[in-house]
Amino acid sequence: MLTDFHAELKTLRLTEPFRIGHGTSTQRQMLRVHATRDGITAVGEAPFVPYYKDNPAEALTWAQQWGALIMGGGGASKPVASPSVPRAAKLAFDLLKLDLMGKAAGKSISRLWQDITGARWLSPPRGCRSFSIPADLDEFADKIHEADRTFSVLKLKLGSGSLDHDEMIVARARNVAPAATLIADVNGAWSVTDTAKMIPALRRWRLACIEQPISHDLGIDGWRDLQKLLPAPGIPLIADESAQTSDDVARLAGLVSGVNVKLLKCGGWHRAREMILAARVHGMKVMLGCMIESSIGVTAAAHLAGLADWIDLDGHLWIADDDYEGVCYDKRGQLVIPDAPGLGVTIRKSEI
């Protein structure tokens, strides 16, 4: 029986300004949903990402209107499946249900799903540390040097507005971290012609892949146009904003080498798993990513980490006042996933 449900908007500060091709932000707002059912208390969350232009007030109102009915059972889950449901509400309720389900079974959501499917999931790949677009390359080099002590995979945000500066970012990172796996993420800030120009220029810096170089607004035609201009061999391309659902994965087959799967984009944990399976069917690599969000969302995504080739799950490390704890990294940059029931997150002691 449901004895409590409430939803709230939570604003969290970032450790420093985060700059990507879409703009710069200093905080993140989250939709939080909490429920107590049959004596079990659970939490779900979804972040609001500025470039998605979702409306926090609208998502909160929807959650408050439907939340108790949905979590109370009685066949009231249908509204969550509607296309009109705010993106954040869809994800927040999905994670809330997973947390309840896992806690009721006394198992983490990844262990519970393995029991249900009989699948064996592998250990997660090494963790990745991301860096926003720098203005000061000397300061950036110091950050790369420090991160390289722990993380062997480094993701560099490009799309500064200057192709020369973008290349200098990659060059500086490679010189400071010669053995690191480097990933460039442009967030759609280059044109098709700029991308065709940059890929040969960046080959010397041994990038593992380039993520979303062109705008997702160009659609599939943009990727087709790019492929016509690309030299061979090139640098593997990963679709992020262009790959929102499993259907997008199928449309991108043959045009990109892989996709970035995020819970917010596809609307939930099971849908993310479906995207991963769709990518494998089409012979694609998988990057498991997150938004800048608290440990709630990042930990939920981490339960899928064993299915990915790369994991970009450091969104919580950008949060200055993260009020939950869950997934973390050891001194070798290896992901440590809590084996506690449900999502495996707990309120930080300082927040109690």
pLDDT for res 232: 79
Look at residue 123 in the predicted model and tell me its pLDDT: 85
Tokens of 247: 């259907």
Q: What is the mean pLDDT of the chain?
A: 94
pLDDT tens for each residue of 100-116: 999 999 999 999 988 88
User: What is the pLDDT, as a whole number, of residue 2?
Assistant: 86
pTM for this prediction: 0.94
pLDDT at 276: 97
Encode pLDDT of 150-190 as tens digits: 999 999 999 999 999 999 999 999 999 999 999 999 999 99
CA–CA distances in Å: residue 274 to residues 38, 110, 116, 246, 279: 30, 14, 15, 7, 9
Q: What is residue 81's predicted lDDT score, i.e. its pLDDT? A: 59
The C-alpha atoms of residue 259 and residue 251 are separated, in whole angstroms, by 12
pLDDT, position 216: 96
Query: What does the pLDDT look like over 280-290, one tens digit per residue?
Result: 999 999 999 99
Query: Which conformational region is residue 251 in: left (phi greater than 0), alpha (psi within -120 to 50 degrees), or beta?
Result: alpha
- Residue stretches of the chain with pLDDT short of 70: 73-83, 351-352
In this predicted model, what pLDDT tens digit does every residue of 87-97 receive, in sequence order?
999 999 999 99
Q: For residue 239, what are its two tokens?
A: 């679709």
Strands in 23-37's sheet, in edge-to-edge order, are 2-20, 23-37, 40-48
| Residue 74 pLDDT | 45
